[in-house]
Structure 1
Amino acid sequence: MADLVGAAPAAPGSHVGSRAEYAARVLEQLAERARPGERLGTKVSLRPVCGVSVGTFNEAVKLAQSRGWVVSRSGPGGGIFAADRSAMVRLGNSVLALDGEVSSVADAVRMRDALDPLLVEDAVWHSSAADVREMRDRLGVMAAARDAGDPVAFVLGNWALHRKIAEVSPSVILRTVYLSLLDIVEAHTRGVSGTETSPLPRYIDERYLLHERLVDAIEAREQDAAQRLIREHNTTANAS
């Protein structure tokens, strides 16, 4: 399969913000033109296209991965590949843009997702009736945002729900680390105008239903169902 290095990126003079942010947007543009799973090139061949240093390029790859645009694979036949964007980009890139220290933010997203199954496990066994009521109140905020067509408010409501799930954990270390990671993501996230308005409402509906089923599983103390749902959550979007 031919690499897509020759595809024209955005003009270098048009970028705003950090060099890593600019390079990430170049990678995202290449991925947007590619089919899911298509090889964009190697790090060696793509870095000159982005016009940045090795360290900055590696930060850009992390950022593009955290947004769901690319996948980096090592070894023979490895390189940078276009990710399956069927879900992630509809919300992650239409609604959110990460700024600040991009490598730290991307790492925070990955670590947060890795801790989700532990917190859900604790929520299944330790949630009280009052805890579940609070979770459903936050689902209500998400539903109101969905009905109002406000994707940014939907994401904020979603994070509030995840905060409540984390707060149930009896593990002080786990709870503190997770909430700190969520603070990092929230602090370096800003709302932007959506560019994929057509599929976005359908995707928000899907995300709402997934979280509603997750809270149902927590209330019913159905550990297997809750873990299946959080795995589905973290493989379809890391912005929510």
Structure 2
Amino acid sequence: MKQEERQINNFATRFNKYLEYQKKHKPSKASSGQFEQELKSVKENKTQDNPSPSTEKKEFVFSEQVESKDISLSSAKRLAKYASLIQDAAKRHSVPVELICGVILQESHAKSNAVSPVGAKGLMQLMPATAHRFGVKNILDPAQNIEGGTKYLSWLLKRFKGDVKLAVAGYNAGEGAVEKYGNKIPPYRETQQYVPKVLGYTQAMVEIISQDIASKDEASQLPTHARRV
């Protein structure tokens, strides 16, 4: 097995260990600025060490503080069932595992049969038109839903040059709405509330995956996209 594959496979193991840990301990919240500081550090180091952006993978951009959002044990258990599907989609489309989880938790609380009043369906609440656009034939199939939703997130991240908050806003309101308002979060109440909720769950997943529940060696082997957004 290749080293990268071994590293990717840590996600499911670590997440399930977290579930066992959560039953015995009350999780402590990291500071609300942890997400921001980690991103700034990564970006600054990359700029100093590799000034040419053309040969390096683009870092995801997020410049505001994010406070982690509590994940219920029931949602965490449901989410854990799809760990392998999430990690595979993350690897294929270069989208952070935590961000995919954040969208799933906010959209459906990890319920694969969820259907919204406006017709969005499945774990990542795909609308029929979006599902068709990204090759999803059975929206309620978890594998297809995660694949389609992750492909859409990947597309949005590229369109908005790695800006996570704009990609998340686009996922909710559509990329056209973000562009209409000058590449800013649209002034829709739903979208204004949606973005911090998704990023809060994303930050919670950053903390979960990086928690020192297993050995420090395992934590150090986590792939880049499973350690930060």
- TM-score, with normalisation over the residues of structure 1? 0.32
- More relative contact order in 1 or in 2 (CA 8 Å, sep 6+)? 2
The structure whose residues are more often helix, as a share, is 1
The structure whose residues are more often strand, as a share, is 1
